[in-house]
């Protein structure tokens, strides 16, 4: 089973992807995480994309398609791939179609996490992640444990993303509506689009996604 999680910044894609990794042995392919890794380890590509990411603009199609191509070639898929934050443009979507076709892997579902802008601002403003394992927290809806230790790995190192500020978020939302939202029509026409209510509680969203993945239709 290979799926795309589609939705604006803060919709809950990463949170849901991690749950699928834990419960279904799926493999999360997050271009955002890959780009942040490149930036943190100071590679040439990482240096090139740092400013673009800080502003909340999209990195070039060429770079992210290259990252995904490498993963599809090198990484065993276990329970299937979860594309998280990719594709974000029509060019990326058609490139992914080609890559999957060449690898003989189907795309089974594109799951849209529906949310509204007010919720996104609140989610991004409260987001933090474990610096060691990447577990996602929220100041209000999923607070860091009182003992200061990550529930998953026990690390005490928590991070906030440099681009989780209001100005960058506004830009990321515009990029989403201009360049990524056309993918909803693209996948609808391919009869792959499924929608879930991303405003529901984390557990309920998990249940809705599980229902889609368990539905053979
Ligand atoms: P969020 O979870 O807030 O949507 P991501 O972690 O997916 O953010 O992405 C962070 C930043 O990385 C984006 O604002 C963009 O600059 C860059 N990025 C990630 N994925 C892509 C992609 N598929 N195409 C272009 N840029 C990307
Ligand atoms: P994305 O990967 O789409 O940018 P994240 O999974 O990082 O989104 O979630 C953004 C923030 O919202 C995080 O702080 C996360 O804990 C919180 N969050 C995710 N899903 C929900 C939900 N269903 N209800 C409330 N908060 C949520
Ligand atoms: Zn952790």
How big, in percent rounded to 5, are the helix, strand and coil portions of the chain?
50, 15, 35
Burial of 42 (0-12, 13-18, 19+ CB in 10 A): exposed
Q: What are 56-112's pLDDT values in tens digits?
A: 999 999 999 999 999 999 888 899 999 999 999 999 999 999 999 999 999 999 999
Across the range 31-54, mean pLDDT stands at 95
Strand partners for 194: 111
Q: Look up 69 and say whether it is catalytic.
A: no
Task: Look at ligand 1, atom 23, and give the residue with the nearest C-alpha.
Answer: 86
Q: What is the mean pLDDT of the chain?
A: 95
Ligand 1 pocket, mutate which of 4, 5, 6, 32 (most atoms under 8 A from CB): 32
pTM above 0.85, yes or no: yes
Q: Going along the chain, which residue ranges are E strands?
A: 3-6, 27-30, 81-84, 109-114, 127-130, 136-138, 158-159, 193-197
Indicate whether 216 pLDDT > 70: no
Q: Look up 13 and say whether it is catalytic.
A: yes
CB count in 10 Å sphere of residue 216: 4
Q: Which CATH superfamily is domain 2-214 in?
A: P-loop containing nucleotide triphosphate hydrolases (3.40.50.300)
- Name the residue ranges covered by the structural domains of the chain: 2-214
CA distance 163 to 169: 7
Distance 130 CA to ligand 3 centre (A): 5
Q: Residue 215: what pLDDT? A: 83
Q: Look up 172 and say whether it is catalytic.
A: yes
CA distance 163 to 166: 8
């Amino acid at each position: 089973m290979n799926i795309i999680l589609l939705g604006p910044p803060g919709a809950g894609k990463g949170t849901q992807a991690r749950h699928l990794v834990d419960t279904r042995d799926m493999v999360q392919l997050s271009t955002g995480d890959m780009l942040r890794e490149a930036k943190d380890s100071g590679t040439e590509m990482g240096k090139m994309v740092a400013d673009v990411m800080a502003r909340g603009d999209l990195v070039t199609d060429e770079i992210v398609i290259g990252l995904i191509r490498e993963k599809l070639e090198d990484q065993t898929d276990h329970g299937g791939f979860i594309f998280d934050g990719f594709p974000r443009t029509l060019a990326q979507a058609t490139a992914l179609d080609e890559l999957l076709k060449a690898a003989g892997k189907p795309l089974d579902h594109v799951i849209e996490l529906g949310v509204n802008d007010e919720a996104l601002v609140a989610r991004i403003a409260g987001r933090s992640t474990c610096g060691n394992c990447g577990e996602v927290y929220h100041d209000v809806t999923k607070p860091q444990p009182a003992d200061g230790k990550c529930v998953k790995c026990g690390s005490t190192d928590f991070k906030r993303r440099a681009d989780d500020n209001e100005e960058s978020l506004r830009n990321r939302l515009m990029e989403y509506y201009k360049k990524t939202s056309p993918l909803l029509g693209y996948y609808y026409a391919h009869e792959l689009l499924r929608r879930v209510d991303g405003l529901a509680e984390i557990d309920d969203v998990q249940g809705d996604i599980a229902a889609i993945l368990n539905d053979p239709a």
